[in-house]
Chain A
Amino acid sequence: MIPKRKREKNVLARVHENSRVQAAETFIFPVLFGVLVLILWQNQILHKILHTDTFTLPLPGRILMIMSDNADKILSNVGATVAVAVIGLAAGSVFGYAIAILAALFRKWGAAGLGIVAAFNAIPIVALAPVMTNWTKDVSSDAAMRSMVAKILVVTIVSIANMSFNAFRGLTELKPFAEDLMSSYAASKKETLIKLRIPNSVPYIFTALRVAVPSSVISALVSEYFAEYIVGVGRQIRENIVLAQYASAWAYIVAACLIGIIMYGILMIVEGIVLKKHVKA
Chain B
Amino acid sequence: MKNLKTKVLSTVCAVAVGCGILSGCGTAVKETTAATTTAAVETTVAAAVTTAAAAETSAAATAAPAASLTNEEIVVKAAQEGKVGNWGLGNEYEIQALLMKYGQPTTYLSQAFDMDGFDDDSISLASAMTYNELGLVKNDYEGAYAYGDTVGFIDMNDEGVAMLEDNLFCNREFAESNPNTVKAFIYASMKGWEYACANPEEAAEIVFNNGSSVSAEHQAYMASEVKKLVETDVNGNAVTQIGNMDETAMQQTLDLAKQYIQLDDSVAKDNLAALTIDDIRDTSYITDAYASADGVFGDLEKTDVSIQLKWLPQAQFMGYYVALDKGFYTDAGLTVTIVPGGGDISETTAVNSGTVDFGVTWVSNLISANAGGMKLLEVAQVYQRSGLVLVYKYDSFQ
- The smallest beta-carbon distance between B337 and chain A, in angstroms, is 22
Whether B109 contacts A229 by the Cβ 8 Å rule is yes
Query: Which one, A62, A131, A134, contacts B267 given CB within 8 A?
Result: A62
Quick check: which of A1-9, A63-71, A174-182 contacts chain B, the rest being far away?
A: A63-71
Whether A134 contacts B116 by the Cβ 8 Å rule is yes
Nearest residue (CB) in B for A142 is B82
- Known A-B contacts A228-B109, A229-B110; the reply to A65 vs B266 at CB < 8 A is yes
Whether B368 contacts A243 by the Cβ 8 Å rule is yes
- Known A-B contacts A65-B266, A66-B266, A241-B346; the reply to A116 vs B21 at CB < 8 A is yes
A69–B266 Cα distance when bound, in Å, is 8
Quick check: which of A33-41, A105-113, A162-170 contacts chain B, the rest being far away?
A: A105-113
| Complex contacts, A116 vs chain B, CB 8 Å | 14, 17-18, 21-22
A115–B352 Cα distance when bound, in Å, is 48
Whether B369 contacts A134 by the Cβ 8 Å rule is no
| Complex contacts, B372 vs chain A, CB 8 Å | 55, 243-247
- The smallest beta-carbon distance between A21 and chain B, in angstroms, is 43
Quick check: which of A85-93, A118-126, A185-193, A263-271 contacts chain B, the rest being far away?
A: A118-126
Quick check: which of B31-39, B140-148, B274-282 contacts chain A, the rest being far away?
A: B31-39
| Complex contacts, B90 vs chain A, CB 8 Å | 242-243
Mark each residue of chain B from 108 to 122: 1 if its CB lies under 8 Å from any CB of chain A, else 0: 111010001100101
| Complex contacts, B35 vs chain A, CB 8 Å | 130, 134
- The smallest beta-carbon distance between B80 and chain A, in angstroms, is 13
Query: B353 at the A/B interface (Cβ < 8 Å)?
Result: yes
Mark each residue of chain B from 324 to 353: 1 if its CB lies under 8 Å from any CB of chain A, else 0: 000000000000000000001010110011
Mark each residue of chain B from 218 to 249: 1 if its CB lies under 8 Å from any CB of chain A, else 0: 00000000000000000000000000000000
Whether B29 contacts A123 by the Cβ 8 Å rule is yes
Whether B36 contacts A248 by the Cβ 8 Å rule is no
- Known A-B contacts A112-B18, A241-B344, A243-B369; the reply to A230 vs B32 at CB < 8 A is no
Mark each residue of chain A from 227 to 262: 1 if its CB lies under 8 Å from any CB of chain B, else 0: 111100000001111111111100100000000000
Whether B32 contacts A243 by the Cβ 8 Å rule is no
Residues of B in contact (CB 8 Å), total: 49
Query: A97 at the A/B interface (Cβ < 8 Å)?
Result: no
Query: B265 at the A/B interface (Cβ < 8 Å)?
Result: yes
Query: B10 at the A/B interface (Cβ < 8 Å)?
Result: yes
Whether B7 contacts A119 by the Cβ 8 Å rule is no
Nearest residue (CB) in A for B353 is A56
A111–B339 Cα distance when bound, in Å, is 49
Query: Which one, A70, A143, A226, contacts B36 given CB within 8 A?
Result: A226
Mark each residue of chain B from 194 to 208: 1 if its CB lies under 8 Å from any CB of chain A, else 0: 000000000000000
Q: Chain A CB within 10 Å — which of B11, B14, B112, B369 has the most?
A: B14
Query: B365 at the A/B interface (Cβ < 8 Å)?
Result: yes
Whether A126 contacts B14 by the Cβ 8 Å rule is no
Query: Which one, B7, B349, B369, contacts A108 given CB within 8 A?
Result: B7
Query: B6 at the A/B interface (Cβ < 8 Å)?
Result: yes
A101–B116 Cα distance when bound, in Å, is 40
| Complex contacts, A228 vs chain B, CB 8 Å | 109-110, 117, 122
- Known A-B contacts A55-B352, A229-B109; the reply to A245 vs B344 at CB < 8 A is no
Q: Which of B245-275 contact A (CB under 8 A)?
A: 261, 263-268
Q: Give the A-binding residues of B (Cβ under 8 A).
A: 6-7, 10-11, 14-15, 17-18, 21-22, 25, 28-29, 32-33, 35-36, 82, 88-90, 107-110, 112, 116-117, 120, 122, 261, 263-268, 344, 346, 348-349, 352-353, 365, 368-369, 372-374
A-B contact pairs, 9 of them (CB 8 A): A55-B352, A119-B22, A126-B33, A127-B33, A130-B112, A133-B112, A142-B82, A244-B372, A247-B267
The 4 A-B residue pairs with the shortest CB-CB distance, nearest first, are: A112-B14, A244-B369, A248-B264, A130-B36
